[in-house]
Amino acid sequence: MDDSLAISVRGLRKAYGETTAVDGVDLAVSRGEVFALLGPNGAGKTTTIEILEGYRRRDAGEVSVLGIDPDRADDQWRTRVGIVLQGTGEFDDLTVAEVVHHFAGFYPEPDDPDKVIDRVGLADKAKARTHALSGGQKRRLDVALGIIGRPELLFLDEPTTGFDPEARREFWELIRDLAAAGTTIVLTTHYLDEAEALADRVGVITGGRLVEVAAPARLGNRENALTTVSWRTPEGGVERAESATPTALVAELAARFGGEVPGLTVTRPTLEDVYLQMIGHR
Helix (H), strand (E) at residue 145: helix 135-147
User: Distances in Å between the alpha carbon of 126 and those of 112, 170, 218?
Assistant: 14, 18, 42
- Domain map (residue ranges) of the chain: 5-218, 221-278
In eight-state DSSP terms, residue 43 is S
What are the beta bridge partners of residue 7? Answer: 29, 65
Q: Which amino acid is at 9?
A: V
Phi-psi domain of 49 (left: phi exceeds 0; alpha: psi -120 through 50; beta: other): alpha
Residues 12, 61 contacting (CB under 8 angstroms): yes
The domain made up of 5-218 has a fold known as Rossmann fold (3.40.50)
The predicted structure's pLDDT at residue 236 = 87
Per-residue pLDDT of the chain (282 residues; tens, 9 = 90+): 567 899 999 999 999 999 999 999 999 999 999 999 999 988 999 999 999 999 999 999 999 999 999 999 999 999 999 998 776 567 888 999 999 999 999 999 999 999 999 988 899 999 999 988 887 788 889 889 999 999 999 999 888 877 778 888 888 888 898 899 899 999 999 899 999 999 999 999 999 999 999 999 999 888 888 899 999 998 889 999 999 999 999 999 999 999 999 999 999 888 998 999 888 764
What distance in Å separates the CA atoms of residue 151 and residue 42, rounded to the nearest whole number? Answer: 28
The predicted structure's pLDDT at residue 254 = 94
Hey, what long-range contacts does 87-91 have (CB within 8 A, 24 or more apart)? Answer: 87/142, 88/141, 88/142, 88/145, 88/146, 90/130, 90/131, 91/130
User: Distances in Å between the alpha carbon of 125 and those of 99, 134, 226?
Assistant: 12, 11, 49
In eight-state DSSP terms, residue 262 is T
